[in-house]
Each structure stands twice: as C-alpha cells, then as structure tokens.
C-alpha cells in the first residue's frame, strides 16, 4: 500500500513542480512536446517575447559600453561565418564582433535562412557599435544585438526572417523597421548565472556544534541551522542535510550577492529563492506572520528585507530577524552546491534561504520533495549520489519536460532545447 502511495505522490509532485527540482539550476529545458507547427511570420512592429528588450524575460539589463581598450573587449569574438554577409560600412570589422551567445544564435539563423530560401544568405547591417551611432544603453554597444536582412534585400521575406530569428534562439526579436529586423541576446554573464548550482563553494553554514563549515565541505547527515517555518520566519533550528540536489565543486558560476544593513552577504544563483519582506520593515524586527514571501535572487531589490540569524554585534538570534538589503551585485565564484535539508530551508552566510529554485512558490517546491523525504525516513538514505544532479531531480526533470509548460518558471532558469 505504501509503494503505490509513494509513486502517486511522486507523479503528482513531478506534474506540479518538476523544474524546481534541480535545487538552483535548470537542466537543458522544459516544456510540452508539441507536434510540428507552421511558423507564423511576425507582424510589422511586433516583438517577441512581448516584453521590453532590457527586462528579465527578454535580453536583460544593459551592462555598459564595450570599447576596444576596455577589459570587457575580450568578451567579444569575431564571426567569420562565410554563410553570413556583413555590411561593415565602417570597414573596421566591428559588425563581426559579438558575444559568444549572439554568435551562436546568428550562425543558427544563417542555416535556417539557407534552408528556407535556397541561394539566399543572412545579411548583418549593424552589429557591435563602437562609434556611438545608437541610442543610449543600446545593446549594440555590448555586441549583444544585430540588425539583419536577407542578402537579396527582399522586404517580403523580413516578417518570416523575424520568426526564424525567434526560432534560432535570440532572446528578443523586433520587426523594428521595413528595412531590417533587430535581434538581441542575454549577456553571457546572465546565461552563466542560470546554469547549475545554488550557493558558491565558499559559502558558510552553521553546524549544530556552533561552528561553521564551508558548504563545499558539508556532507549529508550533518545538521545545519535552518528555519522551522515554511515561510522562513519562526524559530531557527538545526535540520539534517538529506542530500545535495546539485553538487559541482570545480565549476565557475555567476552569483547574485545580496548585502544587508546587518552586514550579511548572501550569494546565490539567479533562479534561487530567498525570503523577503515587502514594504516598511524595521531593522532587527521579528517579521509578522504572513509578511514574508519568496522571490528569485535576480528579483531581490535594495530596500526589501531578508531574514538574518545574527545582529550587527554578532548576537545569535533564536529566530530570523529582518535586515534591509542595501546592495545587489553580480560576481563570479567557484563551486555550485544545492543542499536539501529536512525543513527545506537553510541559513547560508547568516541569511535564511530556501533550498529550492526556478518555481517561485517555496511551499509547493517543499511538497514536491516529500517522496524523497519518505525514502530517507525508510532507508536513512536518498540513494547513492556523487557529484552532479541528484537522481530524484533528474527523474522529476524528465517527467516535467513532458508535462509542463516552460512559461511557468523563472526566465533565466529555463533554456529551451533549441537554445
């Protein structure tokens, strides 16, 4: 009787929440499998996705102009694809310079163009701009945007060219002008931030003995400081680490770092969940019941409050206290670790965080992992697991790819198959 119950629970969890299974990072993609469809051309002035270009769901924020003498110039790579015509009216090769992600999408689009229109090639009229010809904060200044046409300059093809660009994986496509299509991509930094891992290897957790240990040295069976409440508030207790949903000691990833007024600094991946209090919050106060919600790390903002375990003088609290976020930044660090505790929460670098990611509802994510907790209660283990993604996460991911639509999840936590 127990086994059918467990299987039913597992299927239900996977159906509702599977992409959240990978702790802090997605796999290669989610979404329902669809039968082949006829491609619909974009309408004039239409953009896809239907959000502003420099927002989270599209190509993301502007990160600053790149010049030939700047340190970031090394982020750009030349594109010498013979199947693409570069206008290069400046005769400097600037239009060929772009980020690796932009290059990959452009090369993919070039193949689609030749397949649909034999004898026609993709043409780039504008790429990286080093001369200031575009509007302020244009992604052309970062090598993340291109303006394109077909080699025959047949404007009747441009609506379908825009659709092909969407299918090729550009993060934002705009039928901007009768003369060209505008395409842009996320920065390579933000793409790196979404993939795998959760907390960096040097992040610290607090053990039941009172000492601290880097998360890279943590092992299942150890007990770490966590919150007993499903919304992160309430009593701070010590909770057993059941498993690592993802563990990669050698990888380099980008992490969002939240710095608080109390001095705490928490680093975690973009799609990971953290508890915050909206509106007015008093530094050091205990949050009222129902005052907290989970947000993605990439959506945390200065002025919001997170829960910390210690005050400014190093005083240890018996329950989480509010501390205002003063700064949010992006940094690169080594290692990617996603521990799962019995409570589904964990205090990392003095800040209360969820063990889950990708789906914004912590409570549903916690419920989805109930079968794994049942397995652990029966056997004292969650099954053999080395570095990489946990088998249970992989199982939920496999089911989720068939059953769930990718639109329900964090934009940086979902990478479609053709991207």
- pLDDT digit string, tens, across residues 232-253: 777 899 999 999 988 888 877 7
Q: What Rg do the C-alpha atoms of the chain give, in angstroms?
A: 24
Burial class (CB in 10 A: 0-12, 13-18, 19+), 294: buried
- Mean of the per-residue pLDDT values of the chain: 82
Tell me what pLDDT residue 416 has. Answer: 38
Enter the tokens of residue 193.
Answer: 């931030």
Between CA 350 and CA 300, with CA 203 as vertex, the angle to 5 degrees is: 65
- Taking alpha carbons only, the member of 207, 243, 237 closest to residue 376 is 243
Q: Using an 8 Å Cβ cutoff, are 352 and 277 in contact?
A: no
Give the Cβ contact number of residue 57 at 10 Å. Answer: 15
Write out pLDDT tens, residues 61-82: 888 899 999 888 988 999 999 9
Mean pLDDT of 138-156: 96
Q: Using an 8 Å Cβ cutoff, are 193 and 299 in contact?
A: no
At 90, the pLDDT band (50, 70, 90 cuts) reads: confident
Which 3 state secondary structure label does DSSP give 348?
Answer: strand
As beta bridge partners, residue 48 has 173
Q: Where are the beta strands (DSSP E) in 59-209?
A: 77-78, 84-86, 97-98, 122-126, 145-150, 172-177, 180-184, 204-206
Tell me what pLDDT residue 361 has. Answer: 81
- Taking alpha carbons only, the member of 195, 253, 184 closest to residue 413 is 195
**Cβ neighbours for 419, distance < 8 A, ≥ 6 positions apart:** 29, 169
pLDDT exceeding 70 applies to what percent of the chain? 80
pLDDT exceeding 90 applies to what percent of the chain? 47
At 411, the pLDDT band (50, 70, 90 cuts) reads: low
Q: Kindly list the distances between the CA atom of residue 372 and the CA atoms of 115, 282, 340, 345, in Å, as whole numbers in the listed order.
A: 47, 38, 10, 15
At 271, the pLDDT band (50, 70, 90 cuts) reads: confident
Tell me what pLDDT residue 198 has. Answer: 82
pTM above 0.75, yes or no: no
DSSP string, 392-418: HHHHHHHHHHHH--GGGS-GGG---TT
Write out pLDDT tens, residues 352-372: 999 988 777 888 888 888 998
Between CA 162 and CA 168, with CA 72 as vertex, the angle to 5 degrees is: 20
Write out pLDDT tens, residues 378-392: 988 877 667 777 887
- Determine the Cα–Cα distance for residues 183 and 140; give it in Å rounded to an integer: 10
Tell me what pLDDT residue 193 has. Answer: 45
Tell me what pLDDT residue 140 has. Answer: 95
DSSP string, 349-393: TTEEEEEEESSS-HHHHHHHTHHHHHHHHHHSSS----SEE-HHH
| pLDDT > 70? residue 195 | no
Enter the tokens of residue 96.
Answer: 């060929």
Tell me what pLDDT residue 399 has. Answer: 66
Write out pLDDT tens, residues 149-193: 999 999 999 999 999 999 999 999 999 999 999 999 998 766 554
**Helix, strand, coil % in the chain, rounded to nearest 5:** 25, 30, 40
- Determine the Cα–Cα distance for residues 132 and 348; give it in Å rounded to an integer: 44
88 φ/ψ angles, rounded to the nearest 5 degrees: 45, 55
Greater model confidence, 208 or 406: 208
Mean pLDDT of 339-357: 93
Mean pLDDT of 313-333: 77
Give the Cβ contact number of residue 136 at 10 Å. Answer: 8
- Taking alpha carbons only, the member of 126, 122, 119 closest to residue 158 is 122
Looking up tokens 């940094």 gives 331
Tell me what pLDDT residue 329 has. Answer: 83
- Determine the Cα–Cα distance for residues 393 and 397; give it in Å rounded to an integer: 6
Q: Which of 45-59, 108-122, 295-309, 359-373 has the highest mean pLDDT?
A: 108-122
Q: Using an 8 Å Cβ cutoff, are 178 and 317 in contact?
A: no
Tell me what pLDDT residue 233 has. Answer: 79
């Amino acid at each position: 009787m127990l086994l059918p119950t467990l299987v039913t629970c597992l299927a239900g969890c996977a159906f509702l929440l599977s992409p959240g299974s990978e702790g802090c990072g997605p796999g290669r993609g989610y979404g329902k499998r669809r039968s082949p469809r006829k491609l619909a051309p974009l309408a004039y002035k239409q953009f896809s996705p239907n959000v502003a270009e420099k927002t989270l769901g599209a190509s993301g924020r502007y990160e600053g102009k790149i010049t030939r003498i700047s340190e970031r110039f090394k982020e750009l790579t030349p594109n010498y694809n013979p199947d693409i015509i570069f206008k290069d009216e400046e005769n400097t090769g600037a239009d060929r310079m772009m980020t690796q992600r932009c290059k990959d999408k452009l090369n993919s689009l070039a193949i689609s163009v030749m397949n649909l229109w034999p004898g026609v090639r993709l043409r780039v009229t504008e790429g990286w701009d080093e001369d200031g010809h575009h509007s302020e904060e244009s992604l052309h200044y970062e090598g993340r945007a291109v303006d394109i046409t077909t080699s025959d300059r047949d404007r009747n093809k441009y609506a379908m060219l825009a659709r092909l660009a969407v299918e090729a994986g550009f993060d934002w496509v705009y039928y901007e002008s009768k003369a060209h299509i505008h395409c842009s991509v996320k920065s390579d930094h933000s793409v790196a931030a979404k993939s795998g891992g959760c907390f960096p290897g040097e992040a610290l957790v607090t053990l039941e003995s009172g000492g601290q240990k880097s998360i890279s040295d943590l092992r299942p069976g150890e007990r770490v400081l966590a919150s007993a409440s499903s919304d992160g508030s309430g009593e701070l207790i010590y909770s057993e680490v059941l498993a690592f949903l993802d563990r990669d000691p050698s990888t380099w990833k980008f992490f969002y770092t939240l710095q608080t007024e109390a001095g705490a600094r928490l680093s975690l991946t973009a799609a990971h969940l953290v508890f915050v209090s909206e509106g007015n919050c008093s530094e050091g106060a205990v949050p009222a019941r129902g005052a907290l919600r989970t947000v993605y790390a990439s959506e945390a903002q200065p002025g919001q409050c997170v829960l910390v375990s210690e005050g400014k003088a190093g005083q240890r609290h018996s329950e989480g206290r509010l501390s205002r976020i003063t700064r949010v930044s992006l940094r690169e660090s080594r290692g990617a670790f996603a521990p799962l505790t019995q409570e589904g929460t964990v205090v990392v670098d003095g800040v209360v965080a969820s063990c889950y990611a990708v789906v914004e509802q912590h409570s549903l994510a916690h419920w989805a992992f109930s079968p794994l907790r049942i397995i652990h209660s029966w056997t004292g283990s969650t099954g053999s697991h080395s570095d990489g993604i946990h088998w249970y996460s992989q199982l939920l991911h496999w089911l989720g790819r068939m059953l769930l639509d990718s639109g329900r999840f964090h934009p940086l936590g979902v990478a479609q198959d053709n991207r």
